[in-house]
């Protein structure tokens, strides 16, 4: 099973959402939370911090896991851990993996095409 983490970065009632680029092989043109897969030898928090830094240029301090989900994506069994983020520093810059960002409320997210684990979070949150 592949492990991945997502960062729930909030500004008031809005979450930072990233639109996956058209050239991304998985989740193309779906809105997603920042984060990604854990690499061999990393622990969960190292992986989350690295992925968020790569995707947004933000340095973060995760607080705790607030949601977990398991699903099969592109023929891979995946387990996602979603973290509440305590502190964010840095200037937002997107990586090539994403073409757009937006701050969205839960209600705004419901109107968009979402990455599957984000949809699960919305459905159960």
**Secondary structure string (H, E, C) spanning 60-84:** EEEEEEEEEEEEEECCEEEEEEEEE
Provide the pLDDT confidence category of residue 125 given band limits of 50, 70 and 90.
low
Q: Where are the beta strands (DSSP E) in the chain?
A: 2-8, 10-11, 14-20, 31-32, 35-37, 59-73, 76-89, 98-104
Q: Structural domain tally of the chain?
A: 1
Indicate the pTM of the whole model: 0.93
**Do 104 and 8 contact (CB within 8 A), yes or no?**
no
The reported pLDDT for the residue numbered 36 is 93
Helix, strand, coil percent content, the chain, rounded in steps of 5: 20, 45, 35
Range of the domain at 51: 2-124
CATH assignment of the domain containing 103: 3.90.79.10
Rounded Cα distance between 125 and 123, Å, is 6
Longest dimension (CA), the chain: 38
28 has pLDDT over 70 = yes
């Amino acid at each position: 099973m592949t492990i991945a983490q997502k960062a729930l970065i909030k500004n008031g009632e809005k979450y930072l959402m990233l639109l996956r680029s058209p050239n991304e092989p998985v989740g193309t043109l779906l809105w997603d939370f920042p984060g990604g897969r854990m690499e061999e030898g990393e622990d969960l928090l190292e992986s989350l911090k690295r992925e968020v830094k790569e995707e947004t240029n933000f340095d973060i301090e995760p607080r705790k896991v607030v949601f977990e989900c398991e699903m099969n994506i592109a023929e891979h069994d995946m387990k996602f851990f979603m973290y509440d983020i305590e502190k964010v520093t840095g200037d937002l810059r997107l990586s090539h993996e994403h073409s757009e960002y937006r701050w969205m409320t839960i209600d705004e997210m419901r109107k968009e095409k979402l990455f599957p684990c984000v949809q699960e979070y919305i459905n159960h949150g």
